[in-house]
Amino acid sequence: MNEPPGENSDAVKVVIVDDHEMVAHGLASLLEDESDIRVRKQPDPPRVVMITSVVDRRLLNEALDAGCCGFVSKSADRRDLFEAVLDR
């Protein structure tokens, strides 16, 4: 895949999905500033990291069963978000 000039070809590609447009836009703005992360408009099969305030283990297990690979608490700081997206 050819990357646009100046793009980091090793960057993790992410797609933001949220039922609140403002939240999705804010998350995209935060992640776009990181050189190791590239926010994409159209997804390849996604690696899903769920950002949630849910603490119900049953619901979290359902998300894992549906293909989610990890979680970040909505109370986490941005470094935790970056590390979850980068799978560190």
Domain containing 63 equals: 12-86
pLDDT score for 26: 92
pLDDT score for 5: 52
Q: Is residue 3 part of a domain?
A: no
Q: Is residue 44 part of a domain?
A: yes
Q: Is residue 6 part of a domain?
A: no
Reported as a pLDDT band with limits 50, 70 and 90, residue 42 is: low
Compute φ and ψ for 6, nearest 5 degrees: 85, -5
Going 26 to 28 to 32 to 37, the CA torsion angle's sign is positive
Q: Is residue 5 part of a domain?
A: no
pLDDT score for 76: 94
How many structural domains are present in the chain? 1
Average pLDDT (2-19) is: 73
Q: Is residue 47 part of a domain?
A: yes
Average pLDDT (79-83) is: 91
Average pLDDT (79-85) is: 90
Average pLDDT (10-31) is: 86
